[in-house]
Structure 1
Amino acid sequence: MEKVSANGVLSRLSFLEAQSKQKTGAQPQSRVQELKTKVEELKKQRDRLRAEIFVHQNLQKLRTSMDNNEQVEMNDDSENAKLLRVMAKHTQLKDLLLAHHLIGGYDVIKTNQDKCLCFSLATAYQGDILETYNIEISVSQPLRIIRHNIPPFIPVMTLAEETDMQKNIRRFLDTLSLHLNAFTMRKQQLKLVKEQHLSVEVLETNALCSLLVLMLTEPNTNTALLCSLDYSDHTRGLPTRVTIQCEERDLSGSPQWQKNTALLQNTPVHEALQIMRKTGQII
């Protein structure tokens, strides 16, 4: 075994002690730098949050002024102030578009000191805007229909119950709009029949335009035909059942009149009559 001298042991101990001091001295130095870096990051985060709060507060002030049609003086007319105005306008438009989407695209205004909303439901046929109906609903719970100008033969209160207006007002408005548009379509078709087909006699109809009885005439024999259109589905502008009758003969077995019946059931009535007249089926 190699003999270790006292001097060698002392030298080794001195070396280990010096090495330990270097390690313990380097550790605090590294920790201090780490903390300084963390402080700088927190300062940057603080400054960013302050800037966001500033922007949010000014945007809110601008949005409030825009909603109330007021003018708000900014502290300066710098690029930042101009940018804030653009951002406020942008957020206002986004909110309006979102609200418009949520209520299904219906025009709405606040009434009764913001306690009610008045919805406008426009109707159209073949690209033409026709009647517009309005319904005012109290937004306090439970929701209540205050007033409207919807025709009395459309069951507004029944539709509100069936669609559960309290939980889904958009579903109620969509269903009501469907009934109104279908009614407008039927009424407009009846109007066009009277205007475009003078040889066709309207024998019977009703306020809802859900029943239409026409007198048609064959061109060769001048035979009268009784055409009945039943619109039992009040959400559609096309009839659910069509019958054509003739006192002189049975038309049920005629392929041509079966074709005409299908045409009347799947085509707006004024357009179907136009086709039948061009093909020589009626006068």
Structure 2
Amino acid sequence: MEGLSSKGVLSHLSVLAVQTKSRRNPPQQSTRVKELKAEAEALMMRREQLKAEIQTHKSLQRMRLSMDKGEEEMDEDSENSQLLQLMAKHSQLKDLLYAHHLIGGYDIIKTSLGKGVCVSVTTAYEGVYLDTYNLEIDLKPVLRITRHNVPPFIPLNELAEQNNIQTNIKAFLDVLSQHLNAHAGRKQQLKLVKERFPSVDVMESNVLCSILVLMFTVPRQKTAVLCTLNYSDHTRCLPTTVHIQCEGRTVSTDNQGPPSTVYNPRLCVMSMLSIRTLKHNKFKCPSFIY
């Protein structure tokens, strides 16, 4: 009995000890639970933060990809645009070259109003550029010269009609260039005579420089000679007829055949050399700003 009672007491004591221990543990367990909950909440917040960062990184990556793709497209568009510009410029240059060939190499530009063109004709003599003449030509409804600075003694309208400017503007410009260059050459010859030969007196000349009358003295003989140069062909700078008078005797010659009367050929040669008449070559126009 004593043994049973002692076992009962011990078991009862153990139960009491367990109960006592269980009564002491709840505060510790509740604290641990709170800590775990707080840690779980922190982890959840960290998870949400990481999700937000991942989403941000994805958005940035998508933006970079779209920007890179846009730049590539822009580069392609830029290259295509440059290629198109080069093709357009090449086509424009071909058109200008063709137009330049059609008008015989004369400089031509559009007028400010865009309704016509301006053509320049440059004159030269013995490799020296002289005067430049400009013509403003309306293209529609018909070709018509509206303004120009061609000298009035050049028959501009007559040349336009004779060479049919409506159908062959190149022929008209060629003939006009011949007239202008021939006049410039004759005028330059007269200038050279005055500058290089002070002993030669210019007795007579006209605006067109188609007639020159010179007075000079034959070296050593002290003989006065009157030389008349006649330029009947206004498209040339060489005289067509040379008429020399000396002490009542006359020699006439032209540049297409022998003299009609041979008196003193040396005088004819001297008269020709005195004005340094060299064959004049046609020059193309330089760049022109109207």
Instruction: Compute the TM-score of the two structures, normalised by the length of structure 1.
Output: 0.63
Whole-angstrom distance in 2 between the partners of 1:223 and 1:176: 41
Contact 1:106 1:120 in 2 (8 A): yes
Match of 2:265 in 1: 258
Cα deviation, 1:91-114, whole Å, max 9, x if unaligned, reads 222221111111111112222522
1:77 and 2:78 matched = yes
Whole-angstrom distance in 2 between the partners of 1:81 and 1:143: 37
Cα deviation, 1:46-79, whole Å, max 9, x if unaligned, reads xxxxxxxxxxxxxxxxxxxxxxxxxxx986234x
Match of 1:175 in 2: 175
Match of 1:200 in 2: 200
Cα deviation, 1:106-127, whole Å, max 9, x if unaligned, reads 1122225221211111111111
RMSD value, Cα: 2.4
Q: Count the aligned residue pairs.
A: 196
Whole-angstrom distance in 2 between the partners of 1:208 and 1:146: 24
Match of 1:228 in 2: 228
Higher relative contact order (CA 8 A, sep 6+): 2
Cα deviation, 1:24-44, whole Å, max 9, x if unaligned, reads xxxxxxxxxxxxxxxxxxxxx
Cα deviation, 1:185-239, whole Å, max 9, x if unaligned, reads 0001110110000111100000000000000101223110010100000000000
Q: Say which SS state the counterpart of residue 198 (structure 2) adopts.
A: coil
Return 5+ residue gaps in structure 2 as ranges.
1-73, 252-260, 279-290
Whole-angstrom distance in 2 between the partners of 1:76 and 1:234: 60
Return 5+ residue gaps in structure 1 as ranges.
1-72, 274-283
Q: Say which SS state the counterpart of residue 122 (structure 1) adopts.
A: strand
Q: Structure 2: which amino acid aligns with 1:196?
A: R
Whichever of the two has the greater Rg, that structure is: 2
1:107 and 2:107 matched = yes
Q: Say which SS state the counterpart of residue 238 (structure 2) adopts.
A: coil
**Counterpart mapping for 1:42-61 below 5 A:** none
Contact 1:120 1:134 in 2 (8 A): yes
Instruction: Compute the TM-score of the two structures, normalised by the length of structure 2.
Output: 0.62
Q: Say which SS state the counterpart of residue 203 (structure 2) adopts.
A: strand
Q: Structure 1: which amino acid aligns with 2:120?
A: S
1:160 and 2:160 matched = yes
